[in-house]
Amino acid sequence: MLSHEVEYQVFGDDLQFVEIELDPTESVVAEAGAMMYLDEGITFDTKMGDGSEPDQGFMGKLKSAGKRAITGESVFMTHFTNAGMGKQKVAFAAPYPGKIVPVDLAEMGGRIICQKDAFLCAAMGTKIGIVFNRKLGTGLFGGEGFILQDLQGDGLAFLHAGGTIIEKRLTGEKLRVDTGCLVAFEPTVDYSIERAGKLKSQVFGGEGLFLATLTGHGRVWLQSLPFSRLADRIAPIGGGSGQDEGSVIGGLSNLFER
């Protein structure tokens, strides 16, 4: 697996965007609607799938798109290619206040697991899949912790997270995290979901019923402001309901309503 080699620069503080520089014929793939601006020589096309396996055929692309639909993301992704002469640039903006985290997958052993809405864009050749938590029952009630994105490749990928981002390195200890505050972790870290405290704490504590438990050795990225928490604060002002926004419970209920 050889991803395209791209150069980049991140701009901004709390409302960031990443500008990616492409050589002729190089491409980057992004979530639909993430593009901010592009040079004249950049062409783009919306396709089904990430383009990491060009010979997989229609049924393979349909299967991949079906997995993305489960996460609540669009089944289509936008492919941006430098079809001009010389270097050309394209930029992608973060969807809400937070930080953009560049990840070199080659340094991660070729794989990283992230929150289902954390992916922003990546060099062409990156495989974007999903992984389910092994414990289906607790995963379902764990909200964001149930369905995770699986990024594989040897190039650059860009994640987005809300608020302030912190990178922690585990060396065998256990770390317990609010399911919404988990952004990404290396596959060497074992991930599960456990109940948060006693019944009284669950009902009146306001911290949620479940926590993500991370153990092992590797890097973990956390965010201080999950989108679901931001939506809960904004919803009363707008008259709507932010309940289950950004969680798998909300995503699955939306699927059943269609």
Residue 76, number of CB atoms within 10 A of its CB: 15
Tell me, yes or no, whether 148 lies in a domain.
yes
Distances (CA, A) of 159 to 32, 116, 164, 208, 243: 14, 10, 13, 25, 24
Q: What is the pTM of this model?
A: 0.77
pLDDT of residue 156: 95
Residue 126 tokens read as 């990156």
Owning domain of residue 104: 7-257
pLDDT of residue 139: 45
Tell me how many domains the chain contains.
1
Contact 116, 147 (CB under 8 A): yes
Residue 120, number of CB atoms within 10 A of its CB: 23
Residue 7 tokens read as 């150069």
Which residues in the chain come in under a pLDDT of 70? 1, 51-75, 133-146, 196-209, 229-233, 235-258
Matching residue, tokens 């009902």: 203
Tell me, yes or no, whether 1 lies in a domain.
no
Mind listing the pLDDT tens digit for each residue in 29-79? Answer: 998 889 999 999 999 998 877 766 655 555 555 555 555 555 555 668 899
Nearest to 154 by CA among 52, 26, 60, 82: 52
CATH code, 83: 3.60.160.10
Residue 204 dihedral angles phi and psi, to the nearest 5°? -110, -10
Non-local (6+) Cβ contacts of 18 within 8 A are 8, 9, 10, 11, 91, 92, 100, 102, 120, 121, 158
Tell me how far apart the alpha carbons of residues 7 and 22 are, in angstroms, rounded to a whole number: 7
- In a 13 Å sphere around the CA of 161, the CA atoms on its Cβ side amount to 23
Tell me, yes or no, whether 2 lies in a domain.
no
